[in-house]
Chains A and B, each alone.
Chain A
Amino acid sequence: MTRIVIVGASLAGLNAAQALREAGYSGSITLVGDEPHAPYDRPPLSKQFLIPGTERESLALADTALLGLTEEYGRRAVHLDVRNRAVHLDSGRVLEFDQLVIATGVGARQWPEPVPRQGVHTLRTLDDAYGIKQDLNSGVRRVLVVGDGFIGSEATSTARSLGHEVTLAGKGRAPLNRAIGDDAAGFVSRLHREAGVTVLPGVRVTALHGSQRVTGATVNDDRLVPADVVLLALGDQPHTAWLADSGLKIDRGLVTDVHARTLDTNGEPLPHIVAAGDVTRFPHPHASGLVTLGHWSNAVEQARVAAATLLRPDAPPVYRPVASFWTTQYGVKFRAVGLPDQADRTEVHEFDLARRRLDVAYYRNDQLIGALTANRAARIVAYRSQLAEALSLLGIQPARMSIASVR
């Protein structure tokens, strides 16, 4: 019987397991994850989950009980032995496999020095979110969010909706500027300011203060921002440390080819070791070099391609996705397709703050490579079709969701 091991028990790992079963794979599947929880959904952690009354059930993903898995939670993989096809766990156990799926995701980047024991948080896991939730729901506080990416910007919006005094400090010209460009970031910035958030763009937080409980932070070496709660949203670090001596190719993430296969250090694909989700970096025709798509849809779609590649090594499907992601701030849901962060030019078709409507198209070398909208659902669907067509004209169909439909 074939033995498949999946390391990383979250969105990508779970979808790989589901896709294997849907395709009729009946061998063993062992799902290993270092968090003490069954897979759960992360996007709500910076949004509604922080609001009182929202419970753990709102994070449910598909039920693993129906998939016939061996589930090992609270166990970390510490070493991959490619030659002997074995994963070593922190318990000392060795899991042998015929095929392996790596879906270890990313972790929150930590502050480089020791931090005050209370009031300082990062946000990636359910346990992180519990800690923040407790701090945000015990009286009105001064909250400092450090980092102007998606998680920082969303958490700012949520904290503000809970009535806190919030300061958002980031390196960019405006929150989300690196991900979605100046125009759309300007829109988000206006939402923050309208809601009464103090936005500090173009700054570095250089020190945190407080011994027991945090009392504030220094910005740009000279300005003191008092705070009772500090959320460090400093970006991600791929969970690849356990693979450092495996011989797999790592380049700011685990490198995969267009079939979700990992590569050895000579760049040769390993057909029995695939990877999916936030941990991966792979080639995409609309980008220069490798891309990381740290978004929900990528974890689902790439995991399904990875599963198909394992089951059909001679005819692996191609993963050339029209990326898509969403972010919600102040009740406005922004939806994006393609690779807005790879653009060299944007066209703003609508910018209506009062009606919460936004429509921005992103170009690279005068080719449409992405779009972002708010309250324009039909527009984003049209952009998406346009991008899918452009990718299919490159000769290869963009990846579809289900194994059965990858033809």
Chain B
Amino acid sequence: MSVRITVDMNLCESHGQCVFVAPDVFWFDEDEILNHKPKVDSSEYDRVVAAAAACPVRAIQVSKIGEEVQ
């Protein structure tokens, strides 16, 4: 199991609340644009959900995805 993260960049206003909660998953590049890992391990689920809840514009979607076939 892993966790898929999508950010609606039309909504994102670079508040940075998600970066505060999970700086290893979300970060700003030099142009102040939000970057994020597309997928993290399921052990990170709680933290990523917390980051999504912290977003004032609800730009972050988190979903659990099944075992990937490598």
Contacts and interface: CB of A to CB of B under 8 A. Distances in A.
B21 A326 contact: no
B63 to A, nearest CB: 15
Contacts of B20: 322, 324, 337, 381, 384
Nearest to A384: B20
Interface stretch (A105-113, A128-136, A218-226, A396-404): A396-404
A405 interface: yes
A378 B50 contact: no
A335 interface: yes
B32 A402 contact: no
B53 A300 contact: yes
B23 A405 contact: no
A334 to B, nearest CB: 11
Interface in A256-313: 296-297, 300-301, 304
A62 B51 CA distance: 15
Contact of A401 (B21, B23, B58): B21
Interface in B11-45: 13-17, 19-21, 23, 27-28, 30, 32
Given A326-B15, A375-B32, A381-B16, A405 B56 contact: no
- Contact residue range for chain B? 20 to 34
A385 interface: yes
Contact of B51 (A18, A296, A401): A401
B50 A400 contact: yes
A381 B13 contact: no
B54 A300 contact: yes
Contacts of A15: 53
B50 A380 contact: no
Contacts of A400: 21, 50
A364 B28 CA distance: 29
Given A43-B56, A375-B32, A381-B23, A402 B50 contact: yes
A171 interface: no
Interface in A346-388: 375-378, 380-381, 384-385
A333 interface: yes
A333 B23 contact: no
A402 B13 contact: no
B27 to A, nearest CB: 8
Contacts of B47: 402, 405
B53 A401 contact: yes
A405 B28 contact: no
Nearest to A373: B16
Contacts of B54: 297, 300-301, 401
A376 B14 CA distance: 10
Contacts of B51: 401
A402 B46 contact: yes
Contacts of A61: 58
Nearest to A58: B57
A384 B16 CA distance: 10
Interface string A1-34: 0000000000000010010001000000000000
B5 interface: no
15 contacts: A41-B56, A297-B17, A333-B14, A333-B15, A335-B15, A377-B16, A377-B28, A377-B32, A378-B28, A380-B16, A381-B27, A385-B23, A400-B21, A401-B54, A404-B46
Interface of A: 15, 18, 22, 41, 43, 60-62, 296-297, 300-301, 304, 322, 324, 326, 333, 335, 337, 375-378, 380-381, 384-385, 400-402, 404-405
Interface of B: 13-17, 19-21, 23, 27-28, 30, 32, 46-47, 49-51, 53-54, 56, 58
Instruction: Identify the 6 closest CB pairs spanning chains A and B, nearest first.
Output: A401-B50, A402-B50, A404-B46, A377-B28, A377-B32, A405-B46
Given A60-B58, A304-B53, A333-B13, 20 more contacts: A15-B53, A18-B53, A43-B56, A296-B56, A297-B54, A300-B53, A300-B54, A324-B17, A326-B56, A333-B14, A333-B15, A335-B16, A337-B20, A377-B16, A377-B32, A378-B32, A401-B53, A401-B54, A405-B46, A405-B47
